[in-house]
Amino acid sequence: MNNVVHTDHILALTRIVGQSNCLTSPDTVATYTVDYRGIYHGEAIAVVRPDSTEQVAEIVKYCRLHSIPMVPQGGNTSLLGGAVPEEAVPAVVINLARMRRVHEVDPFNNTMTVEAGATLHAVRAAAEAADRFFPLRIGSEGSCQIGGNISTNAGGTAVLRYGNMRELVLGLEVVLPSGEIWNGLRGLRKDNTGYDIKQIFIGAEGTLGLITKAVIKLFPVPTSRAVAFVGLARAADALRLLELCKAKADTCLSAFELISQPALELSLAALNGVRSPLAQVYPWYALIELSSGQEQEQLDALLLEALETASEASCIEDAMVATSQTQAQQLWTIREEISDAQTRTGGSVRCDISVPLSKIPQFIEQATERVLALAPNTRMVVYGHMGDGNVHFNPLRPDTQSAAEYLATHGAEITKAVDSLAAQFNGSISAEHGIGVAKRDELPHIKSRVELEIGWAIKKAIDPENLMNPGKVLPALPERDGKE
């Protein structure tokens, strides 16, 4: 596309969203065309910031008419390059940040109808203002948007109790690649009227349309919360401890996070002098949270009982129980800082894997062996939502090596070693972060051709010209080898 044609497009898009919301100056556009980690860069014809579903539909119709690729964008906190244009494919970035109104909170139906551009933080605050609770909790909550959360089927630290985003969505409004608006904003918990259409947009990473509104589930506010930080000798002990906590606390168990010593060390250093919650150093730690509507004393007693049983069974080395909500929050800050601390340190290979819960210790042991055989001085930053069978297995460069050198030498081989091991365990190479561009070309090695063809069949039915977030999620189809 040449510059004269670009100018025509910019004029047309400006007519839809107004001058101040059709961004074209290179400096401004640059902030929307690079991903959160600064790894993926693309080119945008313009960044448009619509204010309504109707404006989104007009933009999409215009782009379709002129065969212009489109990239839906929320808070741009995706870790896999999904929310920015591909390098060689100039696109119109459709940023949803201005569509952030809460339309309705229905406390009896326990639902909220909200525009896609509302940040997760704002959604949680709006629920709280209505004496309700929206449980999705992830480290990027101040920037990520509910539309982005739905499009990535975000997970986070409360999946154990409330499920991931797929389980928290009841209805959607979507602008399809044709520009048509699909209104599926139903707040129903039972609806067996054929295919559950909303499901194909959840986790589709913007490849099938733009989510403009959603009806999401709310819950009663948990009035009490008990949090403990536990030292462990082995990852296998975390599995036993988790089982004990489940047996004692049942549905009150709302989070169970595993943290390796190098991950803790990284976080504490980033938090400028915050001390470890435990006096001694252990190879592994678990952060446990119980929450419920019962009295705080009852919940505290439940947590202590679980820890005592664990101690008698010799599966914990030491534990610190938060004595106030401030202290509980400090423990969570240590956990939540790990991701950003890695980004700032640079030089970590991010593998977001899940395997059957029972296999987590074995997986960690074997993956660690593989990585250390390839890159002996690697810091094993391993942490994550163990309660869901999900760990972020993120080998980090040694202090003595630069990020660029470590990634150039070891990035690809570590990813291959860890992801292929996850596949051997019948696990997933992306438990919650999605595929974006970063993981796209790994899919043919782990999914059957049949599964990939079903994906492409859906894509072609809804977006026949491949204009909606092209190059993301779906890999090129491999040649048939006659085996399937």
Residues that bind ligand FAD (CB under 6 A): 36, 71-79, 82-83, 96, 116, 138-140, 144-145, 147-149, 151-152, 154-156, 205-206, 210-211, 339-340, 432-433, 469, 472
Q: Which residue is nearest to ligand FAD (CB)?
A: 148
- Smallest distance, ligand FAD to C-beta of residue 166, A: 11
Choice between 309 and 428, CB closer to ligand FAD: 428
Choice between 319 and 431, CB closer to ligand FAD: 431
102-106/111-115 β-pairing: antiparallel
Choice between 224 and 348, CB closer to ligand FAD: 348
- Smallest distance, ligand FAD to C-beta of residue 148, A: 2
Choice between 62 and 282, CB closer to ligand FAD: 62
What are the angstrom distances between the C-alpha of 29 and each of 24, 34, 85, 217, 450?
6, 9, 11, 35, 39
Query: Cβ–Cβ contacts within 10 Å for residue 482, how many?
Result: 5
- Smallest distance, ligand FAD to C-beta of residue 355, A: 17
Within 8 A by CB and 6+ apart from 238, the residues are: 232, 258, 284, 286, 360, 361, 386
- Smallest distance, ligand FAD to C-beta of residue 275, A: 22
- Smallest distance, ligand FAD to C-beta of residue 237, A: 23
CA distance 457 to 186: 26
Within 8 A by CB and 6+ apart from 182, the residues are: 172, 173, 174, 175, 176, 197, 209
Which tokens is 286 given? 């678990």
CA distance 90 to 3: 12
Choice between 137 and 248, CB closer to ligand FAD: 137
Choice between 411 and 436, CB closer to ligand FAD: 436
Q: What is the DSSP-derived secondary structure letter of residue 59?
A: H
Alpha carbon of residue 348 to chain centroid = 17
- Residue 141, CA atoms < 13 Å, CB-side half-sphere: 18
- Smallest distance, ligand FAD to C-beta of residue 10, A: 21
Choice between 243 and 340, CB closer to ligand FAD: 340
- Smallest distance, ligand FAD to C-beta of residue 7, A: 26
Choice between 45 and 79, CB closer to ligand FAD: 79
- Smallest distance, ligand FAD to C-beta of residue 87, A: 16
CA distance 138 to 201: 21
Q: Contact 273/330 with Cβ under 8 angstroms? A: no
